[in-house]
Amino acid sequence: MKKQLPLISGIAAITVSFFVFVIPFLFIIFMAFKDRRQAASRDFSWPEGFHLWENLVEVVTTRNWMMITAFVNSSILTVVSVTLLVVLAAMVGFVLARRDAKWNGPIEFLILAGLMIPPAVVPTIWLLQGLKLFGTLHGMILIEVAYNLPFSIILYRAFIATIPRELDEAAIIDGARPLDVFFRVILPLLWPVTVTNIVVQSVGIFNDFTNPLYYLPGANNATVQLTLYNFQSQFNTAYNLLFTNILLITIPPLLVFLFFNRQIVAGMTAGAVKG
Amino acid sequence: MSVTTADSAGALQTTVRKKPIQARYPGWFILPAAVIYSVLFLAPTVSSLYFSLTRWTLFDSVFIGFENFAQFFREPFLVQGLINTVIYAVVTSGMKVVIGMAFAVLLTSNIVARGYLRSVVFFPVLVSTVGVGITFTVLMHPTQGMINETLALFGIKGPGWLTNPSLALYSVALVDVWKGVGLATVIYIAGLVAIPRDYYEAARIDGATPWQNFWYVTLPLSRPATATVIILSFIGGLRTFDLIWAMTKGGPGFASDTVASVIYKQYQAGFYGLSTAGNVVLFVLIAVLVIPLTMILNRRRGHE
C-alpha cells in the first residue's frame, strides 16, 4: 500500500494537471485547426478537417503581411536589447562586485527602485518625443534596456562575487590592463549566467505587450503581441484565425522552453534561497 | 639574466602597489548603463512628480496643485480602481503562496511523472500574457465558454465569470494565478531542496507525522522562498495591466479597473496630468505597501 501511494497520487495529479493546464493549450491548437464555421461555436471539440495551413496563410498575409513585419520588429527588438543588456549589465555587475566605493549603496538603492517602481508613462513619452525617439524601434530598444537593466545587473553581480579576486590579481601581475581583466579574464567565465540572462530577458521582451503599446504605436511598428491585439478587433468572430495567431506567437517561447528550461528556472529562482 | 627578471618583477610589483586596488576596476564601466537608465527611467520618474501637479497637453503644462490627486480620490471609479488594485495584489499573491507551496511539496516528493508535472505547471509562465488572456476570455464566456458548458454537464449553472461586475476582477485574478503559479512553484522547489535532510531525519526519529513535518520543518525553513514569492507577486499584482486589458478592459463598467488600466485610459483620453498622477499614486502605493512588507518578512527571518 505504501509503495502504491506515489503511484496513486501521481495519477491523480496527472489527471488534474491535464484538465487545468493542458486542456487550455489543446483548445488553442484545436481552434487553430478548425474552419471559421466550426470555430465560431468555441466548444472543445475535435476539428473537422485540417484547416491549419489555410488559417496560417490568412493570418500571415492579412493587413499587408503585418505578421511578418511584426516578427521582424520583435526579433530585432529582442536581439538588440538583449545584446546591449548583457554587455552593459555585466560591466556594471563587475564593477559593483569588485569595487568597494561609497556610491555602491546609492547604486544598489537605484537598482532595487528599478525593480519596484512602475515607469512613469506619459513623462517618458514626452521625453522620447523630445529626443525624436518616440515611435521608433531605436527608442523602444533603449526603453527595454533601461527597464530590464536592474534584473540583469543583480544576476551578474551575484555571479561575479563568486569568482575569486585572486584571478584578477594574477592577471594583473601577468601584465593585464584593467580592460583585459574584464574582457579576457572575467567575461569568458560569465557564460552560464549570460545564457540565463539571454533566455530570461528574451522571453520577457518578446512577450512584452504594455511597453510597445505605449511607446511604439502604428501598424508599421507592430510587435507580435500587438498583432494579437489588432487581430482581435478585426476578426471579431473569426476565432480560428485569432487562435492560429495565438499558436504562432506561442512557438518561440515553446522552443526556448524545450531547449533552455534549466537556465530559465535558474534565472527566475536566483536569490530565492538566499533571499 | 636573473638580475633583469628580479628587476622587472620588482618594478611590476611597485606599479601594482602604487596603483590603488580600486583603479583596476574602471569606474566608467557603469557609465553607459547609468546614462540609459537615468535618461529613460529616472528622469521621467522624477519629472512625473512635477507633471502630476499640472494640467498637461505635452506641449505646455499649467500648474494646478493637487487637483489631479483630489480628483483621483473624489471620482468613485478612480477610487474603485485603487481598491481593486490592492484586492488583486492580495488575492493573487496569497493564492500563489498557498498553491505554489502545495505544488512544490508535491513535486519534491517521490511522485510519478515529476518531470512532466513540473513542465506543465511552469510552461504558462513563458506564454504571452495577452494570448492567455484572450484564450480564457473565450473559455469563460457565460453561455458558450467551455468552463460553463462543462459545469452544465454536472447540472451546475456557471456564473458570468467576466460579465458579472462583482466577479470579473476575481476571474482575472484566477487566470493570473493559473499563469503565474509555475514561477512560485519553482521558487519554492529551489527553497525546499535547500533544506538540509538532517531536519527531516531528526523529525522522523521524534516520530513526527507528515503534517507536523510540514508545519514545523518545511514551512519555517522555506521562509526565504515565501518572502520572495510574496514580494515578487505582490509587486506584479499591483502593477498588473496586460491581463486586465486583454480580458475585461477594466469592465464591466469600471468593475475590474486597476490603477494601471486607469493610467492607460486617462492617457488615451488625453488627460496626461491625471494619467501621470495615477502613476505617482501607484508608485506611492507600491512604496507604502511593499517596503514594510519586505521589512517584516526579513525581520522574521532574522529571528530564527
Asked if residues B243 and B175 have their Cβ atoms less than 8 Å apart, the reply is yes
Q: Which domains does chain A have, with CATH numbers?
A: 64-274 (1.10.3720.10)
C-alpha cell at A93: 555587475
A203 contacts B126? CB cut-off 8 A = yes
CA distance A60 to A64: 9
Cα separation, A234 vs B277, whole angstroms: 33
Q: B227: which chain A residues are within 8 Å (Cβ-Cβ)?
A: 275
Residue B14: band (very low, low, confident or very high) from pLDDT cuts 50, 70, 90? very low
Q: Which B positions 74-103 lie with beta carbon below 8 A of chain A?
A: none
Comparing CB atoms, the residue among B16, B44, B125 nearest residue A119 is B44
Q: Closest to A123 (Cβ–Cβ): which among B128, B229, B276?
A: B276
pLDDT at A231: 62
Cβ-proximal residues to A55 (8 Å cutoff; 6+ apart), any chain: A32, A33, A240, A241, A244
What DSSP character marks residue A119?
P
CA of residue B255 relative to chain centroid, distance: 22
**Higher local confidence (pLDDT), A210 or B144:** A210
Q: Which residues of chain A have pLDDT under 70?
A: 1-4, 230-237, 271-275
Q: Residue B205 — φ and ψ, nearest 5°?
A: -65, -35
At B59-102, the pLDDT tens digits run 888 888 888 898 888 888 889 999 999 999 999 999 999 999 99
CB B246 within 8 A of CB B114: no
Q: What is the mean pLDDT of residues B135-144?
A: 90
| pLDDT at position B151 over 50 | yes
**Residue A118, SS3?**
coil
pLDDT band of residue B3 (cuts 50, 70, 90) is very low
| Predicted ipTM of the assembly | 0.88
Q: How confident is the model at residue B6 (pLDDT cuts 50, 70, 90)?
A: very low
Peptide bond into B142 cis (omega under 30): no
Name which of B141, B183, B283 is nearest A42 (Cβ-Cβ): B141
The type of residue at A226 is L
CA distance B41 to A213: 17
The domain spans of chain B are: 67-300
Cα-Cα end-to-end distance for chain B: 62
pLDDT for residue A275: 37
Q: Check A178 against B26: CB less than 8 A apart.
A: yes
- Tell me how far apart the alpha carbons of residues B65 and B54 are, in angstroms, rounded to a whole number: 7
Q: Percentage of chain B surpassing pLDDT 90?
A: 46
Chain A residues touching residue B112 (CB < 8 angstroms): 6-7, 10-11, 14
Confirm if B300 and B223 have CB atoms less than 8 A apart.
yes
| Per-residue confidence (pLDDT) for residue B179, from 0 to 100 | 95
Task: Write the residue in A96, A181, A228 that is nearest to B131 by C-beta.
Answer: A228
* Chain A nearest CA to B216, separation (Å): 18
Grid-cell match 498553491, residue found:
B99
Q: Does B29 touch chain A (CB under 8 A)?
A: yes
* Those residues with Cβ within 8 angstroms of residue A214's Cβ, 6 or more apart along the chain or in another chain: A121, A124, A125, B264, B267
Query: How confident is the model over B204-212, as a mean pLDDT?
Result: 88
- C-alpha–C-alpha distance, residues B228 and B123, integer Å: 20
Overall size of chain B counted in residues: 304
- Considering the entire predicted model, what is its pTM? 0.88
Is A132 in CB contact (< 8 Å) with chain B?
no
Task: Note the helical H segments in A34-164.
Answer: 36-39, 52-98, 104-116, 121-130, 137-160
Which residues, listed in sequence order, are joined to residue B55 by a DSSP beta bridge?
B62
| CATH fold group of domain B67-300 | MetI-like fold (1.10.3720)
Partners of B56 in the β-ladder: B61
Q: At residue B162, does pLDDT exceed 50? A: yes
Contacts of A274 in chain B (CB under 8 A): 224
Task: Report, as an integer, the average pLDDT of B249-273.
Answer: 90
Q: What angle do CA A18, B124, B218 make, to 5 degrees?
A: 80
| Segment (H or E) for A225 | helix A224-234
Closest residue in B to A101 (Cα) is: B22
Angle of helix B272-303 relative to helix B223-239, nearest 10 degrees, comes to 170
pLDDT, tens only, B262-288? 999 999 998 999 999 999 999 999 999
Cα–Cα distance measured from residue B137 to residue B140, given in angstroms and rounded to the nearest whole number = 5
CA A97, A98, A101, A102: dihedral to nearest 10 degrees?
30
Cell of A18: 491535464
Across the range B43-56, mean pLDDT stands at 91
Mean pLDDT of the region B111-122: 88
Residue A17: which H helix or E strand, with range? helix A4-17
CA distances from B292 to A110, B47, B288, B301 (A): 18, 26, 7, 14
pLDDT at residue A173 in the model:
86
Higher-pLDDT residue of B17 and B209 is B209
**Burial call B92-131: b when 16+ CB within 10 Å, e when fewer:** bbbbbbebbbebbbbbbeebebbeebbbbbbbbbbbbbbb
Distance, CA of A90 to CA of A195 (rounded, Å) = 12
Cβ-based contacts of A232 with chain B (< 8 Å): 134
Q: What is the mean pLDDT of residues B146-150?
A: 89
What pLDDT is stored for residue A98 in this prediction? 85
User: Residue B62's beta-bridge partner residues?
Assistant: B55
The arithmetic mean of pLDDT across residues B21-25, rounded, is 62
Say if residue B304's pLDDT is above 70: no
List all residues 6 or more positions away from A49 whose beta carbon is below 8 Å from its beta carbon: A35
Residues 157-186 of chain A with CB under 8 A from chain B are 168, 172-173, 175, 178-179, 181-182
pLDDT the model gives residue B188:
92
Q: What is the 3-state secondary structure (H, E, C) of chain B?
A: CHHHHHHHHHHHHHHHHHCCHHHHCCHHHHHHHHHHHHHHHHHHHHHHHHHCCEEECCCCEEECCCHHHHHHHHCHHHHHHHHHHHHHHHHHHHHHHHHHHHHHHHHHCCCCCHHHHHHHHHHHHHCCHHHHHHHHHHHCCCCCCHHHHHHHHCCCCCCCCCCCCCCHHHHHHHHHHHHHHHHHHHHHHHHHHCCCHHHHHHHHHCCCCHHHHHHHHHHHHCHHHHHHHHHHHHHHHHHCCHHHHHHCCCCCCCCCCCHHHHHHHHHHCCCHHHHHHHHHHHHHHHHHHHHHHHHHHHHHHHHC
Using a CB-CB cut-off of 8 Å, the residues of chain A touching B178 are 20-21
CA distance A268 to B236: 14
Torsion sign, CA atoms B179, B181, B187, B193? negative
